[in-house]
Amino acid sequence: MVKGLNAVMKKDILVMFSSPIYYIVSFIFTLICGYFFYSNVMYFNLLSIQASSDPFLSEMLNLSDMVIKPFFGNIIIITLLFIPLLTMRIFSEEKRQGTIELLFTYPISDWGCLLGKYFAVMISYVGMLLWTLPLVVLMGIIGSPDWGIVLVAYIGILLAGMGFSAFGVFCSSLTENQIISAVLTFGGLLLIWAIGWMKRLGGEIVGKVLEYISMTTHIESFSIGVLDSRDILYFLIFCSFWLYFTKKVLEQRYIKR
């Protein structure tokens, strides 16, 4: 076990739950998810009515394709918008208050400190995500979704959230201003999300590299119900890179031995 991880994690979770930001973020997150779920179901209901006079349309009516996949696609985008709000204070606040030097003088390992904070963000994120489960149960009541697709979609959202959080933690380590941290995280994630669109401009190899870096390439398999080790590993590599980078940034600035 990494020394001090538990203590830092507990402390950060307590801080997170003492702040109104987390609650407001959770409330807005569930409200938007609920709204998207409702509008997807209503649109599907409308198409089902129209399909009674259009046999071509009726063949396309599939709950997984027309409700589940778009719904989880929306959740990932919402996650991309909200994760910066969870990670923005994680190091920035400590730096602003000047407690970060103190933190690194405690008898805890560097990784313990870093991972403790990271897991605190992840637990908060999972806490938010759990509120979408009633919507999935509702989906199961009104129709017969493909539960394999639902399971894989949740794994994808979780992995994407891990990646977003790791990048957010890194951005938070760069500045003591929470707003700057959130903007950096959001802008950076958006860029990484869509960098694959630039592949047309580069040559074949550059195009392939950009396509690999882009998150959209790796999220697709999760949206169609396929678990692909390449995509799982991409997110793990993504997390490892940004967490390691964060550690090096902190080492460089604060750790004096």
Partner 1 sequence: MKSGQRRAIIFFSFFMFVAILVFVGLLSLRHYTRIDLTERKEHSLSDKTKKVLDKATSDIELIGFAREGMDEYNSIRRLFAAYEYYSKKIKTRLVDPTRYPSIAQKYNIKQFNTVVIQGYDRTQTVKYPNEENITNGINRLIEGKTRRIAWVKGHNERDYKDEKEKGMSILKENLEGENFEIQEINLLRERLDRSFEICFVAGPEGKFLEPEISALEEYLKEGGNLILFMEPFSDSGLGDFVKRYGIVLREDIVVDPFSKAQGGDFLLPVVVAYTEHGITRDFALATIFRTARSISVDRQINPTFDLTELAYTSKDSWAETDLENLFKGKVALEENDKRGPVCLMAIGEGRELPSDEKGAKGKLVVFGDVDFATNQFISLGGNRQLLMNTVNYLTSRFDFINIEKIHKPIQPLLLSLKQKRIIFWVSVVAIPLTVLGISLLMWLRRRPR
**Which of 28-36, 84-92, 112-120, 170-178 is the region at the interface with partner 1 (rule: CB under 8 A)?**
28-36
Residue given tokens 């979770």 in the structure block: 13
CB neighbours (10 Å) of residue 107?
8
| 3-class secondary-structure state, position 197 | helix
Among 5, 8, 12, 64, binds partner 1 (CB under 8 A): 64
Among 30, 87, 181, 214, binds partner 1 (CB under 8 A): 30
Name the residue nearer to partner 1 (CB basis): 138 or 183. Answer: 138
| Nearest-angstrom CA–CA distance, 139 and 13 | 31
Give the helix/strand (H/E) hosting 203.
none
Name the residue nearer to partner 1 (CB basis): 1 or 49. Answer: 49
Backbone angles phi, psi at 237, to 5 degrees: -65, -40
Residue given tokens 């009674």 in the structure block: 52
| Nearest-angstrom CA–CA distance, 25 and 95 | 23
Query: How many residues in the chain?
Result: 257
Contact status: 186 vs partner 1 (CB under 8 A): no
Contact status: 37 vs partner 1 (CB under 8 A): yes
When computed from its CA atoms, the radius of gyration of the chain, rounded to whole angstroms, is: 20
Among 76, 113, 122, 152, binds partner 1 (CB under 8 A): 152
Judged by the rule CB under 8 A, the positions of this chain that interact with partner 1 are: 14, 17-18, 20, 22-24, 26-27, 30-31, 34-35, 37-38, 41-42, 44-45, 48-49, 51-52, 58-59, 61-65, 131, 134-135, 138, 142-144, 146-149, 151-152, 200, 212, 221, 224-230, 233-234, 237, 240-241, 244-245, 248, 251-252, 257
